[in-house]
Chains A and B, each alone.
Chain A
Amino acid sequence: MSAVTASHYTADYPAIAPSLPGQSLPWLQQLRTDALQAFSATGFPSPREEEWRYTNVSGIEKKLFSVPANQAASDVSADLLKAYQLQDAWSVVLVNGRFSAELSALSGLPDGVSILSLADALATQASQVQSHLGQAVNNAEHGFVAFNTAWFSDGLFVHVPPKQVLAKPIQLLHIVTQADALATTRNVIIVEESAEVKVVETFVGADNAYLTAAVTEVFVGQNADLTLYKIQSESEKAYHFGGIYIKQERDARFTHHNFAFGGLMARSDIHADLDHSSECVLNGLYLGVKRQHIDNHTRINHLKPYGISRETYKGVLDDKARGVFQGRVVVAEDAQKTDSQMNNRNLLLSVDAEVDTKPQLEIYADDVKCGHGVTVGQLDDKSVFYLQSRCIDEETARNMLTFAFANEMVDKISIKSLHDNVLEQVLARFPQQGVDKEWL
């Protein structure tokens, strides 16, 4: 098993543990001890596990990524902040996995709203953290969850009280500056009844090999509304494993936009549990170039009646990039009248690009409306010719069609500054000739 190869990580743990937050909290120490034990037993996930068969993480087992001693906020370039930090948002900036107060922007929070680092939350509102940490996911999920629980060095904590509608989005800006760094962050987002919140998770880093292992636990209360964006723009040499685990209460609405652009190997796990009449929308766009490996694994559990889920993932893969989409929708026996649609569409731009797509429906109820569809293909020749017959040269026509394919997902972003930022990133990843930024 991979436990053997991960043993150097457990051996490294005692040196790191004293620097991790929550030393004085016995419940957290217990949680970490249990997680370390679970990780020691399983190690990182192995391709022998069905849910990991397309993504072999031996690359991180061969190395030792370790939690840096210092946060090194001074390493963060002004250009990087300018490019990725949203101006019209409250932001929590983590550098090499630890909170940087000087780079964050948290003034003017409405009364009763908590937006702070997880380490600070453990110091000031530990009971609120305790009642949620580990409640949306536990060590049994897979090795990365146990690893994260034992190792997490900081993260984002958000608590929004009932009926509060936040005027600005919240951004978690996750920056890794150091080579061979391990950035293990744990985020807890609690949105209480009828509150409305937008949260943006942005992952970026310097041009180094490093490992991001993040877990975000999300609690969407009754009739509450959370839109969560994930912008994964890690270094081309980095490994990224990010899990998002969502608990939706009755009538809760959760929308996720998952943009996977960076990383040598990147994987997102998005698991949502839906209660009565909850609504879950999962949108995703993955763009792979060179030898990138980008895996997205989603699971929607319809546990109660009248739930609605809509999932659209699109991928564009060029060069020797490989994409993986595993989408699973489970409709429990109790979840009558579930309405679920899942779609995965892929565009392969080179003969060496590859995608493995596996949509799965597991339905145990008998009165439901569920569907799924998958396409894998090249650009349509008829469309290319149509554009050529309208004066557009072939290369530009192909660029336009590729961009249009991806842009459908970018267009769904409702935060203007974020939309523009993501648009720039999409344009930067594919040849830009002939694609007008003023996409009317």
Chain B
Amino acid sequence: MLSIKNLHVSVGDKPILKGINLEIKAGEIHAIMGPNGSGKSTLSHVLSGKSGYTVTEGSVTYQGKDLIEMAPDIRAREGVFLAFQYPVEIPGVSNVYLLKAALNAIRKHHGEPEVDAMDFLTLVKEKVRLLEMDEKFLYRAVNEGFSGGEKKRNEILQMAILEPKLCILDETDSGLDIDALKIVSEGVNSLRSPERSFVMVTHYQRLLDYIKPDFVHVLAHGQIVKSGGPELALELEEKGYSWLDEQVAA
């Protein structure tokens, strides 16, 4: 699904990622953990195609194609979805309009006809119920005046409707109370499938109590310093991140 090889990324002259290697197969869930400033968000931004980052070395291959060469909208149509840490408010564009425009862009990309209006509404309403959202959210401007929890839920709603192949969750759990976290996690878990992979970037181990990862990677100073199974997250929970610094230093 996704193959990251020796990825080096700079912002301006400053190197942020310094040789990331990561293999993600279809159906797998990978958690990327690490302290603030370790490069976690940079990694999700680079994967989604945000401007302002320079890939100085290495490669990212998604389904056999060079991901870095693709424009952000093409990546999205090819099935890469970024759930934003800070979802953007878009006044004047309703949620339902954006969903329909996005879904139709994907269908057009794959040579399929536009979605039928009735089928679309049925689909959207089903997903709205799944995320325990109010239908009136659909007709409000995208994220405008939403609470933090509502914004994160809205990201997962979009994900549920667009059915991406590679889902990147950037700090989706931060700032959520436990009830909102449970709803978001259930939403994500309902989307798990053998064809769909997840990259969960998170600062907190708490998320992994609700969404079980297959692999946990620890990012520090722009490199993956340790990889393991779910038990690694528990170790981090116990010891914090500081012991990793010592390990890197040594």
> CB within 8 Å of B: which residues of A?
380-383, 385-394, 396-397, 400-401, 403-405, 407-408, 434, 436, 439-440
User: B residues within 8 A CB of A394?
Assistant: 71, 73
Closest 10 CB pairs of A and B: A404-B92, A391-B105, A386-B88, A388-B72, A391-B76, A391-B102, A390-B102, A388-B73, A440-B97, A393-B73
Instruction: Given A391-B106, A393-B71, verify A383-B77 contact (CB < 8 Å).
Output: no
- Number of A-B residue pairs having CB atoms within 8 Å of each other in the complex: 85
Q: Quick check: B88 and A382 within 8 Å, CB to CB?
A: yes
Q: Quick check: B97 and A386 within 8 Å, CB to CB?
A: no
Q: Quick check: B93 and A388 within 8 Å, CB to CB?
A: no
Q: Nearest Cβ distance between residue A190 and chain B, in whole angstroms? A: 37
User: B residues within 8 A CB of A388?
Assistant: 49, 71-73, 76
| A-contact 0/1 string along B56-72, CB 8 Å cutoff | 00000000000000011
Expressed in whole angstroms, the Cα–Cα distance for A397 and B49 within the complex equals 15
User: B residues within 8 A CB of A390?
Assistant: 76, 98, 101-102, 158, 162
Expressed in whole angstroms, the Cα–Cα distance for A440 and B117 within the complex equals 11
Category for how many chain B residues contact A: 20 to 34
Q: Is B94 an interface residue (CB 8 A)?
A: yes
For window 43-91 of B, CB contacts with A under 8 Å fall at: 48-51, 71-73, 76-77, 81-82, 84, 87-88, 90-91
For window 129-185 of B, CB contacts with A under 8 Å fall at: 139, 141, 158, 162
For window 202-234 of B, CB contacts with A under 8 Å fall at: none
Q: Quick check: B71 and A440 within 8 Å, CB to CB?
A: no
User: A residues within 8 A CB of B48?
Assistant: 389
User: Which residue of the partner chain, among A387, A396, A434, A436, contacts B90 with CB atoms under 8 Å?
Assistant: A387
Q: Nearest Cβ distance between residue A214 and chain B, in whole angstroms? A: 31
Instruction: Given A385-B72, A387-B98, A391-B102, verify A400-B93 contact (CB < 8 Å).
Output: yes
CB<8 Å pairs between A and B, sample of 10:
A387-B90, A388-B71, A391-B76, A391-B109, A392-B98, A401-B90, A401-B92, A404-B91, A404-B92, A436-B101
Residue of B nearest to A395 (CB): B73
Q: Nearest Cβ distance between residue A91 and chain B, in whole angstroms? A: 31
User: B residues within 8 A CB of A405?
Assistant: 91-92
User: B residues within 8 A CB of A393?
Assistant: 71, 73, 105
User: A residues within 8 A CB of B127?
Assistant: none
User: A residues within 8 A CB of B51?
Assistant: 381, 385
Q: Nearest Cβ distance between residue B132 and chain A, in whole angstroms? A: 22
Query: 15 more A-B contacts (CB under 8 A) besides A391-B73, A400-B93?
Result: A380-B88, A381-B51, A385-B72, A386-B84, A388-B49, A388-B73, A389-B73, A390-B101, A391-B109, A392-B98, A404-B91, A407-B92, A436-B97, A436-B100, A440-B100
Expressed in whole angstroms, the Cα–Cα distance for A405 and B141 within the complex equals 12
Q: Is B200 an interface residue (CB 8 A)?
A: no
Expressed in whole angstroms, the Cα–Cα distance for A380 and B91 within the complex equals 12
User: B residues within 8 A CB of A403?
Assistant: 92
Expressed in whole angstroms, the Cα–Cα distance for A353 and B98 within the complex equals 29
Q: Is B96 an interface residue (CB 8 A)?
A: yes
Q: Quick check: B96 and A440 within 8 Å, CB to CB?
A: yes
Q: Nearest Cβ distance between residue A437 and chain B, in whole angstroms? A: 11
User: A residues within 8 A CB of B96?
Assistant: 440
User: B residues within 8 A CB of A408?
Assistant: 91-92
User: Which residue of the partner chain, among B90, B92, B93, B162, contacts A391 with CB atoms under 8 Å?
Assistant: B162
User: A residues within 8 A CB of B103?
Assistant: 391
User: Which residue of the partner chain, among A380, A397, A440, contacts B94 with CB atoms under 8 Å?
Assistant: A440
User: Which residue of the partner chain, among B50, B73, B82, B97, contacts A439 with CB atoms under 8 Å?
Assistant: B97
Expressed in whole angstroms, the Cα–Cα distance for A180 and B47 within the complex equals 60
Instruction: Given A386-B87, A388-B49, verify A404-B93 contact (CB < 8 Å).
Output: yes
Q: Nearest Cβ distance between residue A347 and chain B, in whole angstroms? A: 11
| Max chain B Cβ within 10 angstroms of own Cβ: one of A389, A397, A405 | A389
User: A residues within 8 A CB of B98?
Assistant: 387, 390, 392
Q: Nearest Cβ distance between residue A173 and chain B, in whole angstroms? A: 29
